[in-house]
Amino acid sequence: MSKCPVHIDLVDPDIYREGVPNHFLKELRAEAPLAWYDDKSTGVGFWAVTKHEDLDYISKHPLIFSSAEKTCLMREMNEEAVAMQRLMMINMDPPDHLQNRRIVNKAFIPKVIESKLANIKDISKEIVDKVAAKGECEFVTEVATDLPLIVICELMGVKKEDRQMIFDCTNTMVFADDPDMSTSEEDGQMAAAQIYTYGMQLLAEHRENPTDSLTGILVDSVDGEGLSEDEFCSFFLILLVAGNETTRTVTVNGMRLLMEHPEQLQAIAADMSLLPNAVEEMLRHQPAVIQFRRTVMEDVVVSGQQLKKGDKVIMFYPSANRDEALFDEGDAFDIYRNNADQHRSFGIGEHFCLGSHLARLELRVIFEEVISRMKNPKFAAPVKRLRSNFINGIKEMKITFDPEV
pLDDT (tens, 9 = 90+) of the chain, 405 residues, equals 899 998 999 999 999 999 999 999 999 999 999 999 999 989 999 999 999 999 999 999 999 999 999 999 999 999 999 998 998 899 999 999 988 888 788 778 888 788 878 889 999 999 999 999 999 999 999 999 999 999 998 888 898 999 999 988 988 887 777 776 656 778 888 888 999 999 999 888 888 888 778 877 777 765 556 567 888 888 888 888 888 889 999 999 999 999 999 999 999 999 999 999 999 999 999 999 999 999 999 999 999 999 999 999 999 999 999 999 999 999 999 999 999 999 999 999 999 998 999 999 999 999 999 999 999 999 999 999 999 999 999 999 999 999 998
CA dihedral of 201, 207, 212, 217, whole degrees rounded to 10: 90
Between CA 183 and CA 178 the distance in angstroms is: 8
Q: Strand, coil or helix: what is 346?
A: coil
* pLDDT confidence of residue 231: 80
Residue 183: CB partners within 8 Å, gap ≥ 6? none
In 3-state terms, the chain is what percent helix, strand and coil (to 5)? Answer: 55, 10, 35
- 33, 54 in Cβ contact below 8 A? yes
Between CA 315 and CA 330 the distance in angstroms is: 18
Phi then psi for 137, rounded to 5 degrees?
A: -170, 165
Between CA 120 and CA 139 the distance in angstroms is: 19
Between CA 113 and CA 102 the distance in angstroms is: 16
> CA dist 221 to 72, 103, 150, 204, 230, Å?
25, 6, 24, 14, 13
According to CATH, the superfamily of the domain at 13-61+76-291+316-400 is Cytochrome P450 (1.10.630.10)
The separation between CA 313 and the C-alpha centre of its own chain, rounded to angstroms, equals 19
Between CA 150 and CA 163 the distance in angstroms is: 7
Instruction: Give, as one character, the DSSP assignment of residue 342.
Output: G
Between CA 319 and CA 33 the distance in angstroms is: 10
- 101, 350 in Cβ contact below 8 A? yes
Phi then psi for 107, rounded to 5 degrees?
A: -85, -15
> CA dist 360 to 105, 118, 274, Å?
17, 15, 14
* pLDDT confidence of residue 323: 98
* pLDDT confidence of residue 208: 87
- For residue 385, how many C-alpha atoms fall within 13 Å in the half-sphere facing its CB? 18
* pLDDT confidence of residue 230: 84
Query: Residue 347: left if φ>0, alpha if ψ -120 to 50, beta else—which one?
Result: left
* pLDDT confidence of residue 117: 82
* pLDDT confidence of residue 227: 62
* pLDDT confidence of residue 107: 76
Beta bridge partners of 313: 47, 294
What's the residue count for the chain? 405
Between CA 265 and CA 284 the distance in angstroms is: 17
How far apart are the two ends of the chain, measured CA to CA in Å?
63
